[in-house]
Chain A
Amino acid sequence: MKSKRAPFVVGTLLVLLLFAANLIFGSVVIPFREVLSVLFTGETSNPSWKIIMLESRIPSAITSMLCGASLAVSGLLMQTLFRNPLAGPSILGVNDGANLGVALVMFLSGGTIVSLAGYSAIIAAAIAGASVILAIILFFSEKVSGNVMLLIIGIMVGYIVSSFISILNYFAAADKVRQFVMWGMGNFSSVSMEHLPLMAIILITVLLCSFLLIKPLNAFLLGERYAANLGINIRRTRMMVFLSSGILAAVVTAYCGPVSFIGMAVPHIARMLTNTADHRILMPMTLIMGGVTALLCNLLTVLPGSGTLLPLNAVTPLFGAPVVIYVILKRRNRSDELQ
């Protein structure tokens, strides 16, 4: 048991450490002493530092942690359901749905999006777009019995949606296209304190719900027919998995843009650290490592002193792709799941 507990202890410590680092380091240099004094006394010698801490770094760190955990769990759900190590939150096309929603709002609205109302409109549009795609997938999951067919349908729906986005892009004004491209680069710092509570409540609720799926997910490791014979209701479980994974991906995408790689890479990290496929261990580990990875990526977007940030999606693959390659090479000996 000792060896099983160690990764959790290390993971939790890393979360705390990286959370602190996210508060301390940013594009604006704030002395460490001032960071502590804002956190513990609310006093600081420079009022703008206080605003940066409260309005930017704290919400951004919380967002990273929650969204990373959500994407990772969403990815794990998809990987187990589709028995495919390359599956991730975006595999169902939910991200593309969110993209389309956002593209529609950005390109068709006359005004600018920088305002708070504009940002809320983007979130609403992204959730609406993602929900439509999720509804389509759920509809097919009732009609189609094979998971592989569903996977293909999800990918095809994604292509169709991407076409619409291309068409919209083609006719849109240049400044709007740029705005959309920026949104597509992902950003954990875009969620303000006003928006944070609602997002947090939804994500935490769905994450808790996905823990109810641990037993059926374990049974799914043996294949659907074995799972059915162990008394698992296949269709209902599949619906629940789609719904949880879809909502997690949709909400994160709505608030932070489409964040790549974390959802696909983190479950592999968790498997490597725990050396098990048992979701009772894998699920919490994925959750923790999701938080760790996202906090780390968010930290790496910071160019200290430059006053600007690297795009998030430029950082995640730099980190995620080597991890996936390493894990897949290392797991070659136990590679049944890759067949």
Chain B
Amino acid sequence: MNSNDRIILSAENLSTGYRNSRKETVIQRNLSFSLRRGELTSLIGLNGSGKSTLIKTLCGFLPPLEGEVKIAGKEISRYSAGEFARKVAVVLTDKTYSGAITVRELVSMGRYPHTGWLGKLSHRDNLIVDESMVSTGVYHKADSFLSDLSDGQRQRAFIAKALAQQAPVIILDEPTAFLDVAGRSETLSLLHRTASDMDLSIFLSIHDIDNALMYSDKIMVIRESSPMLFDTPENLVMDGKITDFFAEKGLFFNEMSGQISHYNSSDTVQVGIKGDKLTARWLSNALFRYGFTPVAPKNGIICCNAVSKELIEVLLPEGRMITYDSIGSACSALRERNISGSIRGRAQDEKCEPDR
């Protein structure tokens, strides 16, 4: 199959923003991209970069200022409300009115675009509602009130509502925003599985990058006043695009761990790390916190050999080796040296021993 046949939503020179009778406020210009069936696409960008404006535009809540968005080959403004509801299902961060509706009632509302004036469900509609609840893991909560659910369960109930809509495109506005760590990866893995199993195109905005990188087929990065990026997470990371993106804001993106942190390059001292993988990983974590930059071992800097949790060997540039019995004590020793200035500006010719 031609890969273009898989395109379900495409934007062409799209400008997003707000317009009222007096003026136009453009947030993003010249966005061109396409979303394919079976793929999960994550939209990342800092606050104020226009994530939610783009989401609102794709959901049909805001008209595009310029350019066009086509879904299944048809411009979104040409859809009637009912037709559009069968093409795009949304999950929003809006606070909902009533806790006194049950999960089943909520998911049943997903069938509204397909039912008559009273919203009466046929046997087939009921089956779809059940399937949606089963595949999002809320079937056992079908008769619970929304107010009695955990945040994660409620999010999955709303995802079930979107599935029941049977739209080829699902758009979610920060679906992980109010969830705990487990809820976040659970939700994203559910969405990724759903996109591929049900051949849907899922588009979501998200703040936690590590989960986005792990579960997204495509990542879209938008920035104020620079062109957007759109590629697989792997390409974006390995081309350094993600690192650049965060560096613009004075943040450090760790390409190994996929984590972001505050980073002040002028002030940090490099420390070489090697040894047992797990110990080295968490030694790096601790050193990073105390203002060092963990790097691969090289000449002229302090190197640490992380043998185990109980044994850290620190090799000073002058060749002396000191051992410490914990990550904590190694870190405090290095911090003392760092503060007294004795690390900086040491002789360059002294060697740091390579891997043993």
Measured CB to CB, the residues of A under 8 A from B are 80, 83, 212, 214-215, 218-223, 225-226, 228-233, 271, 275-278, 280, 333-337, 339
Contacts and interface: CB of A to CB of B under 8 A. Distances in A.
A209 to B, nearest CB: 12
Interface string B248-290: 0000000000000000000000000000000000000000000
A118 to B, nearest CB: 43
Contacts of B90: 225-226, 229
Contact of A222 (B82, B109, B147): B109
A226 B90 CA distance: 7
Contact of B92 (A220, A225, A277, A335): A225
23 contacts: A83-B97, A215-B112, A215-B118, A215-B119, A219-B112, A221-B97, A222-B97, A223-B92, A223-B94, A223-B97, A226-B94, A229-B59, A230-B85, A230-B109, A230-B165, A231-B81, A231-B82, A231-B112, A233-B81, A271-B100, A276-B101, A280-B119, A339-B95
Contacts of A334: 99-100, 145, 147
Interface of B: 59-61, 81-86, 88-90, 92, 94-102, 105-106, 109-110, 112-113, 115, 117-119, 145-147, 165
A107 B192 CA distance: 71
Contacts of A233: 81
Contacts of A221: 96-98, 101
B99 A336 contact: yes
B98 A223 contact: no
B104 to A, nearest CB: 10
Nearest to B101: A277
Given A218-B109, A225-B59, A336-B95, 11 more contacts: A215-B117, A215-B118, A221-B101, A229-B84, A229-B89, A230-B110, A230-B113, A231-B83, A278-B105, A336-B99, A337-B100
**Chain A interface SS verdict (over half):** helix
B250 to A, nearest CB: 35
A223 B88 CA distance: 17
Contact of A280 (B60, B83, B86, B118): B118
Contacts of B92: 223, 225-226
A277 B113 CA distance: 20
B340 to A, nearest CB: 55
Contacts of A223: 92, 94-97
Contacts of A228: 60-61, 81
A277 B98 contact: yes
A275 B147 CA distance: 13
B61 A337 contact: no
Nearest to B113: A231
